[in-house]
């Protein structure tokens, strides 16, 4: 009896294993056949055949796609497809959405996909990563994307998408979202306040579209945000307070129609490295709280209607590498800086006293201001100086021959001042010089 029982148990185990293996082979083969149907709908952008490794041998009726180019599996089921920059062309409609139940990542970026994004995309219920950037996809993004509750990353940059996409996909329901890149499209309408629900969102790039309306104050609730790019849209209204954006390192809102003052609260973003709000209609002064931005490397505020003095404390920001404030109405004297663009303001001061002792200067443009005094010979101590532009000011005296020792100098523009005397022969030592303008003296 024991032998019979043992044989029965072994037989049951063999039958069960066979059934499991057959089921796995069946699923794997079904996924392979489904992907081959999609392959048949694609065209190649090159002279080579599309996805040559995607094939099933005639000798083997059961096959797995796990060894195909760009296909990765967990077990015998497809979990990731990455065909970025592979040069395929076709629509997204024939993609086997229903036949890949375990697909988690799909990257078809930098290809020739066209047409719309089909609503069947919601059948990829396990999807966490989707990148369709740099294609020719058009139309509206289907609201079914909002049903992909596990989605963490969505990249749709540089397509032809249009409409009020953000409201239609109920973006606030995607609580797992960490990255949303949909810049360089043709999106219109306003930005919904439901973005404030995305507590885990780290990067939000909506730049280079036609979005309008104001920036929602609810943005301040996205406490995990590291990068926010809203530039090159038609956004208007005041810049909202920064709220809880204490992790923000990159903030770009340039080329919009924003007006009013720069919020004092921006000075609380102590991790901020890059800040640009150029080419808007902002007024008022630079907040004194900017002195708290100890990690700031780049500050661009050009082409606004800002006025008043430039806070001297900005000169204490030791990591500052780029400062562009031109095209405003600033007055007063300058702080100590390494790299500045301050042309087209109303700044004044003695040029030699303000800049003559800063050996770390490597780029400076002070044209179209009211600086006076003489060019200090100490500017030759700026060993890294590559560009010196102080045209259209009230500079007097002679060109110091010591400038000939500025071996890295590539551009020198001292035009339209009150300089006198001869051009120093020492300037012939500037072997890197490609641009020299001394007219109008």
Strands in 301-415 per DSSP E: 305-309, 322-324, 329-331, 339-341, 348-350, 363-365, 370-374, 387-389, 394-397, 411-413
Q: Strands 339-341 and 281-284: what pairing?
A: unpaired
CA distance 205 to 189: 16
Residues 64 and 28 sit within 8 Å (Cβ to Cβ): yes
* pLDDT tens, the chain, 441 aa long: 555 554 444 444 333 333 343 444 567 889 999 999 999 988 765 555 778 889 887 554 557 899 999 999 999 999 999 999 988 899 999 899 999 999 999 999 999 999 999 999 999 999 999 999 999 999 998 888 888 989 999 999 999 999 886 665 666 667 788 999 999 999 999 998 888 888 899 999 999 999 999 999 999 999 999 999 999 999 999 999 887 899 999 999 999 999 999 999 999 999 999 999 999 999 999 999 999 999 998 999 999 999 998 888 887 787 887 888 888 998 877 776 666 777 888 788 888 776 655 556 778 888 998 899 998 887 777 778 888 899 999 999 999 998 888 888 999 999 999 999 999 999 999 999 999 999 999
Q: Which secondary structure element, helix H or strand E, spans residue 43, and what is its range?
A: strand 43-44
Task: Give domain limits for the chain.
Answer: 189-346, 357-441
Choosing among 3.40.190.10, 3.40.50.300, 1.10.10.10, 3.80.10.10, the CATH entry for 357-441 is: 3.80.10.10
Q: Decide yes or no: CATH 3.80.10.10 for domain 189-346.
A: yes
Same fold, 189-346 and 357-441: yes
């Amino acid at each position: 009896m024991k032998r019979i029982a043992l044989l029965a148990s072994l037989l049951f185990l063999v039958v069960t294993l066979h059934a499991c293996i057959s089921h796995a082979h069946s699923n794997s083969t079904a996924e392979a056949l489904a992907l081959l149907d999609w392959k048949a709908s694609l065209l190649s952008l090159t002279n080579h055949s599309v996805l040559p490794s995607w094939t099933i041998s005639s000798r083997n009726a059961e096959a797995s796609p796990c060894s195909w180019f760009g296909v990765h599996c967990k077990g015998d089921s497809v979990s990731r497809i990455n065909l970025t920059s592979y040069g395929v062309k076709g629509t997204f409609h024939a993609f086997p959405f229903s036949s890949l139940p375990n697909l988690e990542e799909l990257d078809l970026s930098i290809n020739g996909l066209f047409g719309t994004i089909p609503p069947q995309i919601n059948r990829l219920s396990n999807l966490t990563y989707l990148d369709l950037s740099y294609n020719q996809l058009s139309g509206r993004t289907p609201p079914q994307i909002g049903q992909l509750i596990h989605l963490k990353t969505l990249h749709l940059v540089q397509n032809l998408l249009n409409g009020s996409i953000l409201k239609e996909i109920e973006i606030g329901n995607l609580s797992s979202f960490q990255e949303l890149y949909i810049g360089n499209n043709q999106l219109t309408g306003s930005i919904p306040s439901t973005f404030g629900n995305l507590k885990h969102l780290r990067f939000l790039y909506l730049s280079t579209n036609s979005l309008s309306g104001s920036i929602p104050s609810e943005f301040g609730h996205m406490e995990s945000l590291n990068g926010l790019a809203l530039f090159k849209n038609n956004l208007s209204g005041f810049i909202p307070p920064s709220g809880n954006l204490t992790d923000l390192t990159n903030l770009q809102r340039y080329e919009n129609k924003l007006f009013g003052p720069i919020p004092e609260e921006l000075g609380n973003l102590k991790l901020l490295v890059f800040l640009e709000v150029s080419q808007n209609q902002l007024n008022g002064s630079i907040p004194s709280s900017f002195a708290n931005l100890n990690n700031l490397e780049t500050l661009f505020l050009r082409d606004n209607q800002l006025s008043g003095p430039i806070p001297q404390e900005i000169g204490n920001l030791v990591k500052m590498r780029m400062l562009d404030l031109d095209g405003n109405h600033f007055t007063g004297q300058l702080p100590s800086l390494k790299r500045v663009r301050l042309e087209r303001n109303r700044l004044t001061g003695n040029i030699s006293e303000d800049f003559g002792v800063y050996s770390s200067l490597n780029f400076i443009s002070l044209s179209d201001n009211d600086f006076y005094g003489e060019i200090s010979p100490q500017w030759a101590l700026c060993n890294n100086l590559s560009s010196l532009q102080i045209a259209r000011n009230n500079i007097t005296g002679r060109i110091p021959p010591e400038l000939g020792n500025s071996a890295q100098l590539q551009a020198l523009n001292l035009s339209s001042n009150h300089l006198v005397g001869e051009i120093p022969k020492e300037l012939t030592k500037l072997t890197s010089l490609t641009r020299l303008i001394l007219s109008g003296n």
